[in-house]
């Protein structure tokens, strides 16, 4: 038997001001768009802001439905919009923020498994790492989706 370990790298930031230029703006945008989420069932408002390689920023938020599984997470709303409208422009980064039932940003805002899988696909599609910025206390920055979904299922597996 042989045992392997996979390490992930997480960069922590105490607050918004510790983040630099583009990434600070991106997180501010994800905080803003979280307020427009349609989340009458969970009361959990999530916002995502996607930065494209040409500087374009696309935002999205969670859209819930009375038929619960018909809703969609903020990350996928934003990523699918980006890929639908800018299919040839690589995604550089995504920031994710949330407002919990108490009106505060939760300490940890972490994408669900399905959103991680879509992020992995985005990386594969453009063959570039996507930087993931997760709001909370601390704010966390991952330098690629491998750090969020190690050992993931990639398109290569279908070849």
Residue ranges in 14-53 that form contacts with ligand THU under rule CB under 6 A: 39, 42, 44, 46
Q: In whole angstroms, how large is the CA radius of gyration of the chain?
A: 16
Task: Give the binding range for ligand THU (CB under 6 A) out of 24-32, 86-94, 111-119, 139-147.
Answer: 111-119
Give residue 123's region: left, alpha or beta (phi > 0; psi -120 to 50): alpha
Residue number with CB closer to ligand THU (22 or 42): 42
Task: Count Cβ atoms below 10 Å from residue 28 Cβ, excluding itself.
Answer: 15
Minimum gap (Å) between residue 5 Cβ and ligand THU: 26
Catalytic residue list contains 75: yes
Is the link from the previous residue into 138 a cis peptide, with omega within 30 of 0? yes
CB closer to ligand THU, 50 vs 73:
73
Stretch that binds ligand THU, among 21-29, 86-94, 107-115, 137-145 (CB under 6 A): 107-115
User: Which position among 74, 99, 118, 119 is part of the footprint of ligand THU (CB under 6 A)?
Assistant: 74
**12, 32, 64, 75: which one is catalytic?**
75
CB environment 105-122: b (16+ within 10 A), e (fewer): bbeebebeeebbbbbbbb
DSSP of 51-115: EETTS-EEEEE-B--SSGGG-B-HHHHHHHHHHHH-TTS-EEEEEEEEE-TTSS--SB----HHH
Candidate residues 29, 75, 120, 139; the one interacting with ligand THU per rule CB under 6 A: 75
**How many residues lie near ligand THU (CB under 6 A)?**
13
Report the interface residues with ligand THU, using CB under 6 A: 39, 42, 44, 46, 62, 64, 71, 73-75, 111-112, 115
Residues labelled catalytic: 75
């Amino acid at each position: 038997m042989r045992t392997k370990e996979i390490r992930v790298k997480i960069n922590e930031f105490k607050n918004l001001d510790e983040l630099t230029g583009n990434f600070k703006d991106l997180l501010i945008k994800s905080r803003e768009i979280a307020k427009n989420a349609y989340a009458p069932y969970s009361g959990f408002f999530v916002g995502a802001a996607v930065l494209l390689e040409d500087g374009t920023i696309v935002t999205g938020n969670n859209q819930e439905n009375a038929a619960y599984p018909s809703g969609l997470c903020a990350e996928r709303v934003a990523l699918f919009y980006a890929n639908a409208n800018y299919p040839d422009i690589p995604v550089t980064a995504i920031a994710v923020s949330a407002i919990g039932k108490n009106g505060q940003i939760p300490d940890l805002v972490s994408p669900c498994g399905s959103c991680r899988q879509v992020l992995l696909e985005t990386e594969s599609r453009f063959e570039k790492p996507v930087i993931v910025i997760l709001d909370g206390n601390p704010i966390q920055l991952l330098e690629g989706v491998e750090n969020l979904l190690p050992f993931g299922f990639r398109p290569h597996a279908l070849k």
